[in-house]
A and B are shown apart, each in its own frame.
Chain A
Amino acid sequence: MLATLLASGEAHHLTTQLFFAALLVGLILCLAFEEKLHAKKSVIAGGFATLCLLLGAGFGILPFEPLMLAGHELDLPVYIPAIEWDVIAIILGSSLFIDITSRSGLFTWIAIKLTKASGGDPRRLLWFYGLMTVVFSAVLNNVTAMIIVGSLTAVSLERLERKKLLFAFLLVEGLLTNVGGLLTLISSVPNIIVGTTAGISFGHFFLVASPYVAVATAATLWMGAKRFKVPQLKTTEEREAAALQVAGFDESDGVPSRFDFWFGAVSLLAFIAVIAGASALPLIRDLGMGYVAMGFAALALLRFRSTADRFYRELDWDLLAFFCGLFVVINVMEHAGVLDLIGQGLGSILALGETTGASLMLGTSAVASSVTDNIPLAAMLARILDADPTIGSNSASPFWWSVVFGANLGGNLTPIGSASTLVAVTVMHKHNLTIGFVGFIKKALPFAVMQIVLAVLYLLLLGALA
């Protein structure tokens, strides 16, 4: 057998695959221990990308021939087409646009209005903040949503003299960011990667994801209120006193001007509408969602044309550079046949079919993304699924959804599983609520398991309905 392999050159190919697979494992481990290494994601991914390119060239696996585009020969460096520029454009454009919109005070205004509408009742406040977390996570990115809701929670509970409930609120909100991150195609990076690879439209994504998000949100909030004994105000005096406390918030204070506020509100609604209809709108359909995001960012910048550089400085360049590095690494892995190797490994799961296989894929993705970054996981699995002739050509395949659900919800299993839960833990630490790795898992596990079980049941239901 070995002799046959050697003779056919397959052993050499396998050695290359294993060598590059080890590099991939190294990248994943470095990303998992990012905090311990005191290194930014972009530096880790950039370092591995540089190394992979050099080794890829050395092993002779990289395609250095010129690219042909519409009959024209393009002489691009090999790492340029390796990057998925539409994903980068979506992330860059939407981050810029959302940052500009948030300067309008719109999100602060909504957050304070909801706080006042709760009347200061802790149970109602938990529900309102929970729903707000989900909606903000869907519209913004999970991290920004958690920062907004988490910081408001700390301030309002302090105001209501209910700081003992801060841990419960932050934990539930942190867990809900990853549920809210499932709502739309642009709510989280795994959604963008998997959705664009599978060819799922914004509208279809929303229609499939929203029932699950509604049920999982309600279940998480109900469970959070029960487990942490979040009280409901009973007497009229209690209600009046609490209402007076939250009435001290002035929602107009965070709004720089009425014009900015309405500009932010209208442009955000227009952005959602155009993104939602991107697959149906002529011209836009061809230009893609990246164009929509970048276009809206450019339009919004017109309002702040003289201070546009401030927004450029605020961009998460670490995240963008990380994506570029990651895409390059994955591209090299593709050429080295590593993705084929993983695909073969996953073949046994895929072979189980759309019911058992997809459920198992969801669980596996969730466990994997709980200890490492869900972005490389989603990017890698999306490439593998895309390469499968049956799944790649079928955007309705439940395997796509199993990766989406697993990659998002897995983040709730550990405090390092997602950036937004890490933000929740950071807010806890800022307010002297110390919780360790195991402590977090103990508190979060029942919620995460419930959400994953609900997702599996939902996938099965979708399969049955199909």
Chain B
Amino acid sequence: MTGIDKFESVFRATLRDDFKLAPLVFKKVLVLTDVQAAPDEGRAMLASATTMLPSATEIELHMLAMDAPISVTLELVAREAPDLVVTHRGLASPSWRQPFTVGENLEVLTQVAAPPVLALPHPLVAAPPTKAPGKIMALTDQLAGNSDLVNAALALTPDDGQLVLCHVEDTRSFERFLDVIAKLPSIDTEQARDEISARLAKEPTDFAESVRAALEPKGRKVSILITRGAHTRDYVELVELEDAGLVVMGTRDASQLAMHGMAHALAIELRTTPMLLF
């Protein structure tokens, strides 16, 4: 059995999920804001969306009432069926000033509405970007095989922009398992640490290299950042260190109703950084 398991591991290790390029085009864009942010800020958001999405052919601005129920927002999105929703944190939410929430409208939008959501800072907290971002950071704790994330990030990366593929391995989980391994006499702890660590780094690295191999011949700049971290502040520091103009994260988790853990935390923390949440 040991031999069978050993060779199955060897063969599984040779399996690679290379990047599959499937370009996303956001043609129809729905810009959502609330009356509190209008009218100048609304126009600024429209301009921002136009700048960030040069391929968009149809950009529509909708003003929501401050007390607009979420059902109205969802109905509007369902009716318009845009390729992308552009909005801001604290959309139609009385708690928009609070730094502890992104607002119920935005939160539900990212989980229920079909199109991805580009969340800009609240117009009264920070002005919407006036130019396309130079660095777009695809940020995740599961980069290997995550072609959707890269394709989404790529859709908002200008031709002269830089796509940063960032994988953050969870240190806490790693250390917790290592602690257990350290108590198992049948497993060599140091060997386990080295091999698991190397394997955890290899898979996202291989995938990121396949992204690079697919995109660099097309003139796209791709940089790779494989690191470890545990806390939200580690992620925030990475975003600040890279000076990312846009952060792209997956928010949907089939096993839960709430937004994916770290995406939710970062959406709250990165109050002035635009985020594409899909």
- A interface residue numbers (CB < 8 A to B): 108, 111-112, 143-144, 147-148, 150-152, 154-156, 159, 248-251, 253-254, 423, 426-427, 430
B184 located at the interface, meaning its Cβ lies under 8 Å from any Cβ of chain A in the complex? no
B13 touches A254 (CB 8 A): yes
Q: Which residues of B contact A143 (CB under 8 A)?
A: 3
Q: What per-residue 1/0 map shows which CB atoms of B1-37 lie under 8 Å from chain A? A: 1011111101111111110000000000000000000
A98 to chain B, nearest CB (A): 13
Which of these, A108, A248, A427, contacts B4 with CB under 8 Å? A427
Q: Which residues of A contact B10 (CB under 8 A)?
A: 108, 151, 254
A249 touches B14 (CB 8 A): yes
B58 to chain A, nearest CB (A): 34
B199 to chain A, nearest CB (A): 11
B contact patch SS: helix
Q: Which residues of A contact B18 (CB under 8 A)?
A: 248
In Å, the complex CA distance between A426 and B12 comes to 19
B4 touches A423 (CB 8 A): yes
B8 touches A154 (CB 8 A): yes
Chain B residue nearest to A143 (CB atoms) is B3
A147 touches B3 (CB 8 A): yes
B11 touches A152 (CB 8 A): yes
B146 to chain A, nearest CB (A): 15
B11 touches A151 (CB 8 A): yes
A253 touches B4 (CB 8 A): no
In Å, the complex CA distance between A250 and B14 comes to 5
Q: Which residues of B contact A147 (CB under 8 A)?
A: 3-4, 6-7
Known contacts A248-B18, A253-B14, A430-B1; 18 additional CB pairs below 8 A are A108-B11, A108-B14, A143-B3, A147-B4, A151-B8, A155-B11, A155-B15, A156-B11, A248-B15, A249-B15, A250-B15, A250-B16, A250-B206, A253-B13, A253-B16, A254-B10, A254-B14, A426-B1
A contact patch SS: helix
Name the 3 nearest CB pairs between A and B, nearest first. Answer: A151-B7, A253-B14, A151-B8
Residues A148 and B13 in contact in the complex (CB < 8 Å), given A248-B18, A426-B1, A430-B1: no
In Å, the complex CA distance between A423 and B18 comes to 33
B54 to chain A, nearest CB (A): 32
**Chain B interfacial residues counted at CB < 8 A:** 17
B14 touches A112 (CB 8 A): yes
- Which residue, of B11, B12, B13, B206, has the highest number of chain A Cβ atoms within 10 A? B11
Which of these, A112, A423, A430, contacts B11 with CB under 8 Å? A112
Q: Can you list 13 A-B contacts (CB < 8 A)?
A: A108-B14, A112-B11, A147-B4, A151-B7, A155-B11, A155-B15, A248-B16, A253-B13, A253-B14, A253-B16, A254-B13, A423-B4, A430-B4
Q: Which residues of A contact B14 (CB under 8 A)?
A: 108, 112, 249-251, 253-254
B11 touches A111 (CB 8 A): yes
Chain B residue nearest to A255 (CB atoms) is B14
Which of these, B3, B12, B16, B206, contacts A155 with CB under 8 Å? B12
Q: Which residues of B contact A248 (CB under 8 A)?
A: 15-18
In Å, the complex CA distance between A449 and B55 comes to 69
B135 to chain A, nearest CB (A): 30
B7 to chain A, nearest CB (A): 4
B15 touches A426 (CB 8 A): no
A438 to chain B, nearest CB (A): 23
In Å, the complex CA distance between A156 and B14 comes to 11
- Which residue, of B1, B6, B13, B14, has the highest number of chain A Cβ atoms within 10 A? B14
- Residues in B39-69 with C-beta less than 8 Å from chain A: none
In Å, the complex CA distance between A250 and B18 comes to 10
Chain A residue nearest to B1 (CB atoms) is A426
B13 touches A152 (CB 8 A): no
A148 touches B15 (CB 8 A): no
B229 to chain A, nearest CB (A): 27
Q: What per-residue 1/0 map shows which CB atoms of B165-209 lie under 8 Å from chain A? A: 000000000000000000000000000000000000000001000
Q: Which residues of B contact A254 (CB under 8 A)?
A: 10-11, 13-14
A150 touches B4 (CB 8 A): yes
Q: Which residues of A contact B6 (CB under 8 A)?
A: 147
In Å, the complex CA distance between A151 and B8 comes to 5
Q: Which residues of A contact B8 (CB under 8 A)?
A: 151, 154-155
B228 to chain A, nearest CB (A): 23
B15 touches A151 (CB 8 A): no
